[in-house]
Amino acid sequence: MDCLRCAYCNICPIYRIEGWESVSPRGKIQLLDKKLSNRLVKDFYKCTVCGLCEVVCQSKLELTRIWEENRAKLVKSKKYMPAHKKIADAVLLYGNPYAAEQEARVLLNSPSNVLYFAGCMANFKVKNIAECTVKVLKLLGLEFKVAGKSEVCCGSTMLRTGFIDVAEKLFLKNVKNWQKMNVEKIITSCPGCYRTIKSNYPKIAEKKKIDFNFEVVHITQFLERELKKLDLKLGTVTYHDPCHLGRHSKVYEEPRNILKKIGYKIIEMERNRDFSICCGAGGGLRAQFPEISEKITLERILEAESTGAETLVTSCPFCVYQFSKVSRLKVRDVVEEVYSSMREVELKI
Amino acid sequence: MYEFPNVRVEVDPEVCKLYRFDLLKVPKPFSAFIRTPLAVFQPENVKDLLEILKFAKKRNLPLIPRGAATSAYGGVVPLKRSLIVDMNRMKNFEVENGKLIAESGAVWFEIERKINKKGYALRVYPTSALVSTVGGWIAQNGYGIGSLAYGSIAENVEWLEVVDFEGLKKVSGDELKFYVGAYGTTGIIVKACVKLRKNNPLGVEAFETSIDKAVEKIDNAYHAAYKNAEKKIFLLAREDGESNDLGLKAWKERFFPLTGYKSTFSNFSEVIVPIESVVDFLSEVEKISKHYQVNFARGEATILIILQSRNILKALKIIKIAEKYNGRPFGTGIFFKRKDKDFWDFKKKIDPKDLLNPKKLKGNLILNFAGLIAWIA
Ligand SMILES: Cc1cc2nc3c(=O)[nH]c(=O)nc-3n(C[C@H](O)[C@H](O)[C@H](O)COP(=O)(O)OP(=O)(O)OC[C@H]3O[C@@H](n4cnc5c(N)ncnc54)[C@H](O)[C@@H]3O)c2cc1C
Ligand code: SF4
């Protein structure tokens, strides 16, 4: 079915801020396959690829796929955004988008065939998440390893911004490394890595005729199963659904169940689950359009504050990093909460 | 080059082109009449609006107010090189003495979410409430959720603030008819005072049943709708009533009237028919399409018929059938004529040069189309 021009997708938070149809999903759909001026190209990239438009689309169009495929077409004709190109160059050269020393990545040797894939954000920017995850997995008695400097960026940002070739190169490096390390199962911290490895990697593998037999879980899926009820008398939290985990992977209840298990009361934000809005960091928006990105972040923070909850919890290092910059509320990853709760129980014992 | 008012404005022709359309799929022969706007303004207050109006008057340029452009009647489609006045930056609202006072760019469902927390609820809102605006729905005089209990939006507007070439005016009482359902041809709605109801919880039930049985059950309900799509579902919402699972699902889906049909569709026709004729009208219409949605209102029903073909003549045929049953088209906009003489006298007085959303409500496009067919023939 074609676009009906019903405008439902104009609930897009970026359109709400910018206000011009060229930024709206409805406007962009009218421009597909047309020759775009520089202005229109720039507007086309004003999108976090959060998928909210797809949830409300009356024509059931696969809008996320449409945005990603059309960004790839733009990149092919050299119409990319400078900040995205900078990330592409950095991941190829350094293995991470921050041009950081790869040695800083968490390393844990073990004969186990379970790999904890922390991802770039948790390794370099919000290290506490990676460290807490390692500690929690150890407390739960899991045998696992972490790849250290041989782990490279999963390529999620590259896939979202249209740099498919770069993402494919990163795929090859990671998959070869996992094969060498005898990995069978992968646990990720970052919903972006999770979606990329779970949904995009098998397609790249098929295209490249490479075997891909890795089981992937997000840490919240693992913890929901493995964590015992702690029933601590903790306060109130509100939970932000990260786009890659929620809308794109339909993991909504697991993180909430973990929070309830450890003893939190959840107060939902008005827009939750499939109607959650992006933290503002996704799809290369923060890198190229920081001012729009910050406005979305602020909007979400205000929504979180209005719940009256004491803490804003999410399950994504990107969201934690993004929110922490402006939030007056305490911002935590689910895993950080799990770790401190497990410690509390341990201390009581 | 024009000297534009000191207001948020876009003049890039590529961007302006995106302001040529709304939901209406303009049939091919008609697209020749559509013009690209000269500029799109986004006023943020009355001062901005007055500046735009002054500029338009001085330059003899047509103005088209625009909300979310979700209408299916081409109200925002420029039939002359025009200035678009996009109201989306004027969206503040508050509840005052139990009434809603909202700027015209406010989005219905955003209002509903906020006022519900204060113990109030909208009496009526369109099923496009997730994105459509206060000004747009009033300018189109729509029917929607709650119209069974509270009628069309016209019956729920207490006063309006509008701007035209003479300045800012407050309009109430009988004069409202010159603005409600006027598609922005007599002025730009700035603010509206709308009646609310107490946020009493609604019980929502739905059943699989036939349309004739459904019609018998609507008495005293807040809202009733019948959708003939994959299944025949009758939704009934009552204050303090019971809910069932199917009802909760249908209620959640009330914002998606265009989804759930067996096959894809290319076009639709929308009419208002007296309640007593709904069943007969639909049994005749079913020969053209079996897919439709009925929203009940006071003494009448709005009926959306989904068509598999883009053939405009089929859509017109449905309107003819509705007229046979004392019905009428749901809207006017680009296609149909507003017939009340005092409206046109008022329009002439307020806007003698036809600069406010020109060529609308005159049935022009149909005339043009008929002319085109005659010419081809
Ligand atoms: C999925 C879907 C469901 C819908 N459901 C309903 C429904 O239940 N009931 C219903 O009645 N309609 C419905 N509609 C049609 C449409 O959404 C409504 O009429 C809507 O309220 C129009 O609002 P808008 O902001 O989109 O107005 P627009 O389409 O932008 O404008 C409509 C007309 O109003 C004029 N206008 C806009 N703002 C102003 C202003 N401030 N001052 C003066 N004139 C102005 C425009 O020039 C135009 O002529 C539906 C549409 C869709 C796509
Ligand atoms: S929601 Fe879907 S059908 Fe409606 S305008 Fe957006 S893309 Fe088109």
Q: Which CATH class is domain A85-223?
A: alpha beta
Asked if residue B367 has pLDDT above 60, the reply is no
Residues of chain B with C-beta less than 8 angstroms from the C-beta of A7: 23, 68-70, 128, 131-132
Sheet strand arrangement including A330-333: A265-266, A236-240, A311-314, A330-333
Distance from CA of A139 to the nearest CA of B (A): 43
Q: What is the mean pLDDT of residues A299-315?
A: 97
Q: Which of B8, B14, B16, B23 to mutate to test the interface with A (most CBs of A within 10 A)?
A: B14
Complete DSSP assignment for B257-294: TT---SS--SEEEEEEEEGGGHHHHHHHHTTT-S-EEE
pLDDT of B377 higher than 50 = no
Return the residue of B nearest to A3 by Cα: B23
Q: Please state the pTM of the whole predicted model.
A: 0.95
Is A6 in Cβ contact with B258 (below 8 Å)?
Answer: yes
Backbone angles phi, psi at B18, to 5 degrees: -75, -5
Question: Which residue intervals of chain B bear CATH 3.30.43.10?
Answer: 8-86
Contacts of A11 in chain B (CB under 8 A): 130-131
Give yes or no for residue B257 CB within 6 A of ligand 1: yes
**Domain B8-86, CATH:** 3.30.43.10
**Secondary structure E strands in chain B:** 9-10, 39-41, 63-66, 83-86, 93-96, 99-103, 120-122, 157-164, 167-172, 188-198, 202-208, 223-228, 232-239, 267-274, 292-296, 300-307, 328-329
Answer whether residue A111 shows pLDDT above 80. yes
Average pLDDT over residues A87-94: 98
Contacts of B22 in chain A (CB under 8 A): 5
* Closest alpha carbon within chain A to B106: A16
> Is B70 at the interface with chain A, CB within 8 A?
yes
Q: Count the neighbouring beta carbons within 10 Å of the beta carbon of residue A3.
A: 18
Ligand 1 nearest atom to the CA of residue B108, by list position: 21
Closest-lying ligand 2 atom to the alpha carbon of residue A4: 3
A138 contact partners, CB below 8 Å, separation of at least 6:
none
Residue numbers in B near A60 (CB within 8 A): 259
pLDDT tens figures, A195-243: 999 999 999 999 999 999 999 999 999 999 999 999 899 999 999 999 9
Mean pLDDT of chain A: 97
Residue spans in chain A of domains classed CATH 3.40.50.1860: 85-223, 229-348
Contacts for A206 with CB less than 8 Å, ≥ 6 apart: A212
Q: pLDDT digit string (tens) for A25-58?
A: 999 999 998 999 999 999 999 999 999 999 999 9
| Mean pLDDT to the nearest integer, B341-349 | 97
Q: How far away, in angstroms, is A274 Cα from ligand 2 center?
A: 17
Convert the pLDDT of each residue in B262-292 to its tens digit.
666 678 899 999 999 999 999 999 999 999 9
pLDDT at B317 over 80: yes
ipTM: 0.93
At residue B24, the pLDDT reads 87
The residues, any chain, with a CB within 8 Å of residue B90's CB and separated by 6 or more, are B43, B44, B45, B103, B104, B105, B106, B190
Measuring CA to CA, which residue among B187, B194, B78, B79 is closest to residue B133? B194
| Mutation site for B-interface testing, chosen from A1, A5, A6 by largest number of B Cβ within 10 Å | A6
Q: Residue B370: its pLDDT value, please?
A: 54
Q: Is B40 on the interface with A (CB under 8 A)?
A: yes
- Region of residue A193 (phi > 0: left; psi between -120 and 50: alpha; otherwise: beta): alpha
How far does the centroid of ligand 2 lie from the alpha carbon of residue B245, in Å? 28
Q: B219-246 pLDDT, tens per residue?
A: 999 999 999 998 999 999 999 889 999 9
pLDDT of residue B179: 98
Q: Residue B15 and residue A11: Cβ atoms within 8 Å?
A: no
For residue B3, what pLDDT band results from cuts at 50, 70 and 90?
Answer: confident
Task: Specify whether domain A229-348 bears CATH 3.90.180.10.
Answer: no
Query: Residue B65's beta-bridge partner residues?
Result: B85
**Beta strands of chain A (E only): which ranges?**
107-108, 114-117, 146-147, 185-188, 215-218, 236-240, 265-266, 311-314, 330-333
Q: What pLDDT is recorded for position B191? A: 98
Indicate if the alpha-carbon torsion angle A191, A192, A198, A199 is positive or negative. positive
What are the chain A neighbours of B256 within 8 Å (beta carbons)? 58
Under a CB-based contact definition with an 8 Å cutoff, are residues B320 and B10 in contact?
A: no
Phi, psi (5° rounding) for residue A126? -125, 65
Give the residue from chain B lying closest to A303, CA to CA. Answer: B114
Report which ligand 2 atom has the smallest distance to the Cα of A53.
Answer: 1
B258 vs B37: which has the higher pLDDT: B37
B19, B128, B264 member nearest A21 (Cβ)? B19
Please choose, from the candidates B143, B151, B141, the residue with its C-alpha nearest in 3D space to the C-alpha of residue B126: B143
